[in-house]
């Protein structure tokens, strides 16, 4: 299969009458897979009401079948086709954060394919804040199931090139709308528990949510290593570059020592840092990802940085760590998963 690339400028006035969007939407209607930009990462879309179409997502990604998908909608009317028994707190969250990087887990309607929800009686749903995503969903007239558009286990794609690197020839089309904004995936919050529970940290922070609805819980699996996550996807190693990655807690002097020891043993060593630390380290490859004083810029560049290491010949990567506050919680969650929880602490 040849993957068709549709170039679309997200800033054009009337995306709804854009012929590339109309054509990409017709691919979705006939059951094909179309990758498209959202404000977080690129998604790999399929008709959420068609089991056969959704099945293709799992095949193209090599995704474990027990990992459910997020359904993307463009209007609140679409919500009522897929969920029921919406609790008041969910309406409050939608009002404040949609369209945007917040995914709500709600009781599902019968019509949603069990292939989408991996047999759960809940479904994850979000309204993305990206003009191309919204126009494409509207043009298709369908709720669109879409995981991140990477091969399973790889860092999520923040450009159409990342999508093609992983899925060229495996999907019908990608809509290239340039680099995505937030850079890490949406926050997933379970609204079926008495107190809503964050299952995956992401683009909307816990602080943002608590300002609107008061105290929320965090899934135990996000804090305790042994607990089984309620969000099936959270149990898999993810986002991993090809070389082993180690997250370093401590000073730049300590990190440099680790680099020196490995290089003395003949290994090629990479360092993941920020603009502030770019000239601090001596290593075989130093990649800077955003600015530490503004963690949003780190989130935006993180996956591209992890993928860039794959184009180098490093044997091991040491990464700086980031404060567990605001979007830093999502950054550390993804970094530690990419590292398979390999960490070094300065004494």
CB within 8 A of 227, min separation 6: which ones? Answer: 219, 220, 221
Residue 43 contacts which entry, Mg ion, ligand TXA, none (Cβ below 5-8 A, type-dependent): ligand TXA
Stretch that binds ligand TXA, among 16-24, 184-192, 243-251, 310-318 (CB under 6 A): 184-192
Residue 250 touching ligand TXA (CB under 6 A): no
Residue 338 touching ligand TXA (CB under 6 A): no
- Choosing from 40, 50, 148, 186, the residue that interacts with Mg ion (CB under 5 A) is 148
Stretch that binds ligand TXA, among 145-153, 169-177, 302-310, 313-321 (CB under 6 A): 145-153
Specify burial of residue 59 (Cβ count, 10 A radius: 0-12, 13-18, 19+): exposed
**Residue (148 or 159) nearer to Mg ion, CB:** 148
User: Residue number with the shortest CB distance to ligand TXA?
Assistant: 233
Residue 270 contacts which entry, Mg ion, ligand TXA, none (Cβ below 5-8 A, type-dependent): none
**In the complex, what is the shortest distance from the CB of residue 106 to ligand TXA, in angstroms, rounded to a whole number?**
8
Give alpha helix (H) positions in the chain: 19-29, 51-61, 76-82, 88-97, 114-117, 131-140, 160-167, 206-213, 252-264, 295-309, 328-338
- Choosing from 34, 46, 105, 316, the residue that interacts with ligand TXA (CB under 6 A) is 105
Stretch that binds ligand TXA, among 14-22, 73-81, 141-149, 164-172 (CB under 6 A): 141-149
Residue 78 touching ligand TXA (CB under 6 A): no
Residue 28 contacts which entry, ligand TXA, Mg ion, none (Cβ below 5-8 A, type-dependent): none
> What is the enclosing helix (H) or strand (E) of 106?
strand 102-107
List the one residue out of 86, 83, 125, 127 whose CA is nearest residue 108: 83
Specify burial of residue 65 (Cβ count, 10 A radius: 0-12, 13-18, 19+): exposed
**In the complex, what is the shortest distance from the CB of residue 52 to Mg ion, in angstroms, rounded to a whole number?**
22
**Residue (180 or 273) nearer to ligand TXA, CB:** 180
User: Which residues are paired to 177 by β-bridges?
Assistant: none
Query: Can you read off the two tokens belonging to residue 172?
Result: 């019908």
107, 85 Cβ separation under 8 angstroms: yes
332: phi then psi, degrees, rounded to nearest 5: -65, -35
CA dist., res. 214 & res. 219, Å (int) = 16
219, 199 Cβ separation under 8 angstroms: yes
140, 29 Cβ separation under 8 angstroms: yes
CA dist., res. 205 & res. 202, Å (int) = 6
Is the previous residue joined to 221 through a cis bond, with omega within 30 degrees of 0?
A: no
- Contact set for Mg ion, span 304-343 (CB under 5 A): none
List the one residue out of 241, 245, 229 whose CA is nearest residue 341: 245
User: Residue number with the shortest CB distance to Mg ion?
Assistant: 148
Compose the 259-298 pattern: x for residues touching ligand TXA by CB under 6 A, - for all others: ----------------------------------------
- Contact set for ligand TXA, span 223-242 (CB under 6 A): 230-234
- Choosing from 3, 22, 67, 256, the residue that interacts with ligand TXA (CB under 6 A) is 67
**In the complex, what is the shortest distance from the CB of residue 253 to ligand TXA, in angstroms, rounded to a whole number?**
36
186, 70 Cβ separation under 8 angstroms: yes
Query: Can you read off the two tokens belonging to residue 48?
Result: 């959420």
Q: What angle do CA 173, 171, 115 make, to 5 degrees?
A: 120
- Contact set for ligand TXA, span 196-215 (CB under 6 A): 199-200
Stretch that binds ligand TXA, among 146-154, 169-177, 247-255, 273-281 (CB under 6 A): 146-154
- Euclidean distance between the first and the last CA atom of the chain, given in angstroms as a whole number: 54
Stretch that binds ligand TXA, among 36-44, 89-97, 259-267, 297-305 (CB under 6 A): 36-44
Residues that bind ligand TXA in the complex, under the rule CB under 6 A: 38, 40-41, 43, 67-70, 101, 103, 105, 117, 120, 122-124, 128, 146-148, 185-186, 188, 199-200, 230-234
């Amino acid at each position: 299969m040849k993957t068709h690339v549709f170039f679309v400028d997200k800033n054009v006035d009337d995306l709804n009458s854009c012929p590339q969007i109309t054509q990409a939407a017709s691919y979705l209607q006939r059951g094909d897979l179309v990758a498209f930009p959202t404000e977080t990462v690129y998604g790999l879309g399929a008709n959420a009401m068609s089991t056969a179409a959704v099945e293709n997502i799992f095949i193209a990604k090599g995704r474990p079948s027990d990992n459910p998908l997020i359904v993307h909608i463009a209007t609140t009317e679409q919500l009522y086709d897929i969920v029921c028994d919406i609790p008041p707190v969910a309406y409050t969250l939608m009002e404040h954060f949609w369209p945007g990087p917040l995914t709500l887990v709600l009781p599902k309607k019968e019509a949603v394919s069990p292939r989408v929800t991996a047999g759960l009686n809940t479904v994850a749903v979000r309204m993305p804040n990206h003009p191309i995503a919204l126009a494409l969903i509207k043009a298709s007239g369908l709720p669109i199931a879409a995981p991140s558009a990477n091969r399973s286990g790889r860092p999520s794609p923040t450009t159409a090139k990342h999508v093609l690197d992983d899925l060229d020839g495996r999907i019908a089309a990608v809509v290239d709308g340039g680099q995505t904004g937030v850079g890490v995936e949406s926050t997933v919050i379970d609204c079926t528990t008495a107190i809503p529970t964050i299952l995956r940290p992401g683009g909307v922070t816990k602080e943002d949510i608590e300002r609107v609805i008061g105290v929320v819980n965090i899934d135990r699996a996000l804090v305790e290593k042994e607990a089984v996550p309620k969000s099936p996807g959270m149990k898999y190693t993810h986002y991993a570059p090809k070389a082993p990655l180690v997250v370093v807690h401590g000073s730049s002097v300590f990190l440099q020592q680790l680099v020196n020891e490995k290089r003395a043993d003949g290994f090629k060593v990479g360092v993941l840092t920020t603009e502030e630390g770019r000239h601090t380290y001596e290593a075989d490859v130093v990649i800077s990802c955003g600015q530490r004083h503004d963690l949003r810029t780190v989130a935006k560049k993180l996956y591209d940085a992890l993928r860039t290491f794959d184009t180098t010949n490093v044997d091991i990567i040491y990464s700086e760590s980031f404060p567990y506050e605001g979007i830093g919680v999502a950054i550390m969650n993804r970094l530690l998963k990419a590292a398979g929880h390999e960490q070094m602490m300065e004494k």
